[in-house]
Amino acid sequence: MIRMTLAEIAQAVDGTLTAGTDGAVAVTGPVTVDSRAIEPGGLFAAFVGEHADGHDFAAAAVAQGAAGVLASRQIDADGSQGGAGPIPTVLVADVQEALGKLACAVVSRLPQTTVIGLTGSSGKTSTKDMLGQVLAAHGTTIAPKGSFNNEIGLPLTVLRADEDTRYLVLEMGSRGVGHLTYLCRIAPPSVGLVLNVGSAHVGEFGSKEQTALAKGELVEALPKDGLAVLNADDSLVAPMRERTVARVLTFGESAEADVRASGIELGPDGRASFLLHADAYGEPASVALRVVGEHQVANALAVATAALGLGLPMESVARELSAAVPLSSGRMAVSERADGVVVIDDAYNANPESVRAALKALAALARARPGARSWAVLGEMLELGERSGEEHDAIGRLAVRLRVDRLVAVGEGAARVHAGASHEGSWGEESVMVADPDAALALLREQLRPGDVVLVKASNSIGLGRVAKALLDDDLPDSAADHAAGAASGPAEGDR
C-alpha cells in the first residue's frame, strides 16, 4: 500500500480518529482482515463476521505491529493482549464501505497504474492467474490471491498496490445487478474482460440473460480510451460491444474473432497447445499451456487479447502464456503421488460448464496412462435454480459417454448425477453414491490402485477439497502430513 497517515486515511474514508490516536502515524504495510497476518506498519480492518468479531482481535493486531485499526466502534486496550494505552483507531460507520473508499483513494493516487477488471461465470481465477503472470514480465503487477473478488477481497487487492505498480489485475465477482458497478466505482478499470456467461449461480441471478445484464456492467464502466475484451464465441457476451464506449477486441475460435486459436491439440498430460492468431498484431505464434484442460484455451485467448491490446509483443505474449503455471489451489491442480495416483483438485467451485471441462481433462489424462482407471468424485453444483436436477443428470450421463471408470456421487445433492450415470448406457457398479466427503475418502483409500487418476470437484461449500488434500497427505511422511496446511476461504473470497 502507498504510505498514508492515519489522518489521511480517516479523511479518505469519512472517518474520525478516536481519542489518543496520533494522526501523524503512517501506515506503510498491507491492509488485512486477519489479525494473524498483520505485518509491521500495516492496517487491521475489524470486520464483524458470522463466527468472530474482528474488534476482539484489534489489540492483538496492534501488539503485533499494526499502525492502526479500521473499526466501527471504540476499542479499549486489553493489557493482557497488547499492553495498556489506547488502540489507534480510525472510527467509521461501516468497515466494508470504508475499505472500499480507502481503496478508491489509493487508486486515485496511482495514475500510472493500468487497472484491469475481469469477470465471467467460470474461469475467472485461472484466467486472472495467467494474466498476472503474462503482465508481470513487462512491469510490476498486482493480482488477487485465490478468489479475492468480492466487496472485501477486491479492495484488499487494490490496497496492495503502490507507486511501482504498473498493472493492477482485479477479479470481479457478482451476485446480481449492481454489484459490478459498485466494484468498478472502487477501482475504475481501463480494461475489462468478460469471459463467458454460463449456468453458474443462475439460481441466484434468475436466468442467463440476467447474468449477462450483471456481467456487462464491467464494460459499461470503461472510459472512451479503454479496452473491452469480449468472447466472440459466447452469444451473450459478444453483444456487450453495444454497451461500451471503449475500443473492443474479441477472442475465440471463430474466424471473426480478433484473437483466435487454431490447431488445438490436447496432449497426454491434459495440457493444450495451439497456434495463436491476431492478424493486427503480427505473425501467428505457438502456445503450449502448462495449465490442464482444453477449456483453458479460451482463458488463454482472453489473456492474449488483453495483453496485445495493451501493446505487448505477440512473441512475448505467446512465450509468457506457455510459461504460466497454476497458482490458486482447488482449480485443476494436478499432483502425482509416489505410487502414481494422480489427483486433480478442482474442488473450489463447480458449475455445469466447468464440470464438463474437468471430466474431459480427466478422461484425457487417464487415457494417456496405460492401465489407469479414471475416478470422478463429484458433489453438488449449487445455485443452479430450477435446472439443477437436469444439469446434474446430464453430468452423470456425460461421465458414462467419456468412459470414466468410476463415478462417486457425494451427498444427497449429487443424487441426480448418480441417477444420470445409472440410466445411461450399460453402467452398473461403476457409479456409487456415498453420504459425505468422509465416506468418499474411505472408499477411495480402499479401492484406489497405483496409477489411477482421480478428479475431485464440487461447489466449495460441499467440502470435497479436504478429500483431495487427504489423498495427497496420504503420500506424505506422518509428521509432514500432520502439519500440512489446508486451504481456507474467508470473507474476502467469492466465486461468482
Q: What is the pLDDT of residue 198?
A: 81
Q: What is the pLDDT of residue 485?
A: 37
> Each residue of 353-397: pLDDT tens digit?
899 999 999 999 999 999 999 999 999 999 898 889 999 999 999
Q: What is the pLDDT of residue 224?
A: 98
Fold type of domain 333-483: Protein-Tyrosine Phosphatase; Chain A (3.90.190)
| 460 vs 464: CA distance, rounded Å | 7
Q: What are phi and psi of 205, to 5 degrees?
A: -75, -35
| 76 vs 409: CA distance, rounded Å | 51
Mean pLDDT of 25-37: 95
| 282 vs 467: CA distance, rounded Å | 46
396, 424 contact by CB (below 8 A): yes
DSSP string across 356-395: HHHHHHHHHHHHTSTTPPEEEEE----S-GGGHHHHHHHH
Mean pLDDT of 487-493: 53
293, 281 contact by CB (below 8 A): no
Tell me where in the chain the CATH 3.40.1190.10 domain(s) lie.
110-323
**What are the angstrom distances between the C-alpha of 472 and each of 94, 293, 433?**
42, 21, 22
Q: What is the pLDDT of residue 490?
A: 53
Tell me where in the chain the CATH 3.40.1390.10 domain(s) lie.
4-99
What percent of the chain clears pLDDT 90, i.e. is strictly above it? Answer: 81
Tell me where in the chain the CATH 3.90.190.20 domain(s) lie.
333-483
Q: What is the pLDDT of residue 3?
A: 96
Mean pLDDT of 55-81: 85
Q: What's the predicted TM-score (pTM) here? A: 0.88
Mean pLDDT of 135-155: 94
Does the pLDDT value for residue 477 go beyond 70?
A: no
> Each residue of 167-182: pLDDT tens digit?
999 999 988 899 999 9
| 118 vs 221: CA distance, rounded Å | 12
Does the pLDDT value for residue 471 go beyond 90?
A: yes
Mean pLDDT of 136-140: 97
| 58 vs 68: CA distance, rounded Å | 9
Choose the CATH number for 110-323 among 3.40.1190.10, 3.30.470.10, 3.50.50.60, 3.40.47.10.
3.40.1190.10
- For the domain covering 4-99, report its CATH number: 3.40.1390.10
Does the pLDDT value for residue 199 go beyond 90?
A: no
Closest CA to 486 of 343, 457, 472: 472
> What's the longest Cα–Cα distance across the chain?
75
Closest CA to 187 of 211, 213, 210, 165: 165
> Each residue of 232-257: pLDDT tens digit?
999 999 999 999 999 999 999 889 99
Mean pLDDT of the chain: 92
Does the pLDDT value for residue 308 go beyond 90?
A: yes
123, 50 contact by CB (below 8 A): no
Q: What is the pLDDT of residue 393?
A: 96
Cell numbers describing residue 383: 445455485
